Amino acid sequence: MEKLLSVSPQNSVENRLLGALPSLEYERLAPHLISVDLSAGTIIYEPVQEIEFAYFPCSAMISIVSIMENGATTEIGLIGKEGMVGLPIILGGKHHANQAIVQIPGTALKLEGSILQQEFHTSHSLQKLLLLYIQARLTQVSQTAACNRQHKIEQRLARWLLSVYDCVSSHEIPLTQEFIANMLGTRRSGVTIAANILQEAGLIRYSRGKITILNQEQLENAACECYRLVQDEFIRLLGTKRG
């Protein structure tokens, strides 16, 4: 379902990037922003598909997923209200080598790529904001790669659950262990063991198809340093943490 967004003060917009724009620059974009409801499993774009629209999530969570020839998947990017999907539009590459898929349903603001590209080249504030966001995303991607190689599965799971919370601002997360295993690029049995460790420590509660974060502070202590490093980089570059 799509509907045009009426022009309103940008501080009422849930997406952090749009909310950080100066009023005049936001008002130029606002008539072109379309509010959309995104269902879980909706594919925003496929690998090597030309990207026509950018999406600024508000309550939805979108994953950038690498798909191997054998069908195995690993999440390489996690985007919520702090960010944008469709960076190749402003980078000039036109398409991405990976898939973008909605993992948690919710709303997003959709913007035609040609309009975003035009504003990117004419609006100093938008250009600076998106370039800083790209740098933060590069940190996220590179640190995730290191994390997947160096850290224990329970540390990675804690880090990932905190990142999901940051995207959707909800302690109840509708995700199965099979899905989490696909995103972390590991076996489901490993996720089961890791989830049990975190549950026995009183940090989460797992029921079929749902994980509830019970103690966010202690979950941060259980996570590896990668979570804090990425958060610190978002704060340094964009002035706000992801969540």
**Boundaries of every domain in the chain:** 2-145, 152-223
* Per-residue model confidence as pLDDT tens digits over 138-148: 998 888 888 87
pLDDT of residue 180: 83
Amino acid code (one letter) for 13: V
Q: How far apart are the first and last CA of the chain?
A: 26
Taking each helix axis from N to C end, the angle separating 153-168 and 188-200, rounded to the nearest 10 degrees, works out to 80
Give the whole-angstrom CA distance, residue 39 versus residue 88.
Answer: 23
Is the CB of residue 99 less than 8 Å from the CB of residue 43? yes
Residue range 182-209: mean pLDDT, rounded = 86
Q: Compute CA distances 16 → 129, 143, 224, whole Å.
A: 11, 22, 26
What is the fold, at CATH topology level, of the domain defined by 152-223?
Arc Repressor Mutant, subunit A (1.10.10)
Strands 53-57 and 106-112: antiparallel
For the domain with range 2-145, which CATH number is right: 3.40.190.10, 3.40.50.170, 2.60.120.10, 2.102.10.10? 2.60.120.10
Q: Which residue has the higher pLDDT, 234 or 179?
A: 234
Q: Compute CA distances 67 → 86, 137, 176, 191, whole Å.
A: 18, 19, 19, 20
Other CB atoms within a 10 A radius of the CB of residue 8 amount to 11
Residue range 229-235: mean pLDDT, rounded = 91
Q: Compute CA distances 213 → 98, 115, 125, 159, 183, whole Å.
A: 29, 39, 36, 12, 18
Give the whole-angstrom CA distance, residue 120 versus residue 127.
Answer: 5
100 by DSSP, 3-state: which? Answer: strand
Whether residue 11 is predicted with pLDDT greater than 70 in this model: the reply is no
pTM (two decimals): 0.88
* Per-residue model confidence as pLDDT tens digits over 107-149: 999 999 999 999 999 999 999 999 999 999 999 888 888 887 8
Other CB atoms within a 10 A radius of the CB of residue 115 amount to 17
